[in-house]
Amino acid sequence: MSIEFPVPLLGFVAGSGTGKTTLLTRLIPQLRARGLRCAAIKHSHHDVAVDIPGKDSHRLREAGAAQVMLASPHRTFWIREGDGQTQPGLSELLEHIDVTAVDLVLVEGFRHELLPKIEVYRGGRGQPLLCIGDDTIIAVAADSAPDNPLSIPLLPLNNPERVAEFVMDWIARNRIRD
């Protein structure tokens, strides 16, 4: 069972500092070059701010607005104040994706959500593979081969072209089954 959504969802999971964002910033241009329009959702455990102190959106938020939307012909930001403890769920965040404007949603983090995922793995970090016992992980992108053989594809972490080929094949295979 996985999250129902009108466009494919593909997660990227790993421990903090492993290189998920780096892979995605190298993968997205490869997918765009293949004609895919991508959205990205990134999970963070940290307090983040996207508005600039002194600018109108920041001033409105600081004044107590629970939600602020800043819209221009160039980009739109939606900011919702949280309580500092409650984590927004992936399904809630997906409600804000314009499915008419994207072909694929890339999800960074949200390790425990039920969606297909690629694990980012660096052998030198000494962390165990997440894919052991997690059947939502469909491939591992690694900087070197893990000690134990895998029953899922092993992708070269430093070759975003190859990872993009895997993603394109995965999308094509899943469209056939739909």
pTM for this model (two decimals): 0.88
Convert the pLDDT of each residue in 52-93 to its tens digit. Answer: 788 777 788 888 888 777 777 887 877 777 888 888 889 998
Ranges of the chain whose pLDDT falls below 50: 178
How many Å separate Cα 158 from the centre of its chain?
18
| pLDDT at residue 170, rounded to an integer | 97
The answer to whether 104 and 31 have CB atoms below 8 angstroms apart is yes
| pLDDT at residue 176, rounded to an integer | 58
The span from the CA of 36 to the CA of 53, in Å, is: 35
The span from the CA of 15 to the CA of 134, in Å, is: 15
| pLDDT at residue 1, rounded to an integer | 53
| pLDDT at residue 178, rounded to an integer | 47
The answer to whether 10 and 102 have CB atoms below 8 angstroms apart is no
The span from the CA of 38 to the CA of 56, in Å, is: 29
Q: Could you tell me the sign of the dihedral formed by the alpha carbons of 121, 123, 124, 129, in that order?
A: positive
Query: Which residue in the block uniquely carries the two structure tokens 């002194």?
Result: 54
> Residue 29 belongs to what H/E stretch?
helix 20-33
Q: Domains in the chain, start-ordered, CATH in brackets?
A: 9-46+87-177 (3.40.50.300), 48-83 (no CATH)
